Amino acid sequence: MSKSLRRVARVLQDAGLPDTIVEAGETRTAEQAAAACVCEIDQIVKSIIFCGQGTGEIRLFLTAGGNRICANKASALAGEALGRADANLVRATTGFAIGGVAPIGHLTPSRTWIDPRLMDFALVWAAAGTPRHVFSIAPERLITLADALPADFTE
């Protein structure tokens, strides 16, 4: 098991949750993940990392697979202009490669917001630290584990 997978499994275990990590096949996109998990695209949790243009701090936005982030709304929540974080910054701060960024188990915690659309489901699926592994979780538990604030930041 990779270090990335172990970190996600440890967070689930420490929270008293079952290890629901599965190797689902190629899950780099929300469409691929939904097909692999046999679920609706909006049950897929996309972990999108932005970087504060003034502070350089990373910000994590967890959004439903079919939604797109509105840059203006996200920047307003962060209190500064945001830009996409490059692959090196994502890996250095989260410990995960783009395409497999889990919403939990980051090396460096960051301010996190979650799309309320995810609350419409009993179960959602998120990357588990690699582009081929996912885990399922109740959205309410994800909010707690990711220390996420529900907010409107989608288009």
Domain ranges for the chain, please list them: 3-150
Mean pLDDT of 6-26: 94
What is the Cα–Cα distance from 133 to 33, expressed in whole angstroms?
9
Buried b or exposed e, range 63-79, using 16+ CB within 10 angstroms: bbbbbebeeebbbebbe
What is the Cα–Cα distance from 135 to 123, expressed in whole angstroms?
10
Q: What is the pLDDT of residue 111?
A: 97
Chain-centroid distance of CA 45 in Å reads 6
Q: What is the pLDDT of residue 113?
A: 98
What is the Cα–Cα distance from 32 to 36, expressed in whole angstroms?
6
Q: What is the pLDDT of residue 106?
A: 97
Q: pLDDT digits over 56-111, tens only?
A: 999 999 999 999 999 999 999 999 999 989 999 999 999 999 889 999 999 999 99
What is the Cα–Cα distance from 3 to 82, expressed in whole angstroms?
29
Three-class secondary structure of residue 9 per DSSP: helix
Q: Is the pLDDT of residue 28 over 90?
A: no
Q: Is the pLDDT of residue 54 over 80?
A: yes
Where does 3-150 sit in CATH, by number?
3.90.960.10
Q: What is the pLDDT of residue 99?
A: 87
User: Is residue 114 within 8 Å of 150, Cβ to Cβ?
Assistant: yes
53 band by pLDDT with thresholds 50, 70 and 90: very high
What is the Cα–Cα distance from 27 to 37, expressed in whole angstroms?
9
Q: What is the pLDDT of residue 118?
A: 98
Q: What is the pLDDT of residue 82?
A: 98
In degrees, to the nearest 5, what angle opens at C-alpha 135 toward C-alphas 130 and 136? 155
What is the Cα–Cα distance from 37 to 127, expressed in whole angstroms?
11
Strand partners, 113: 61, 149
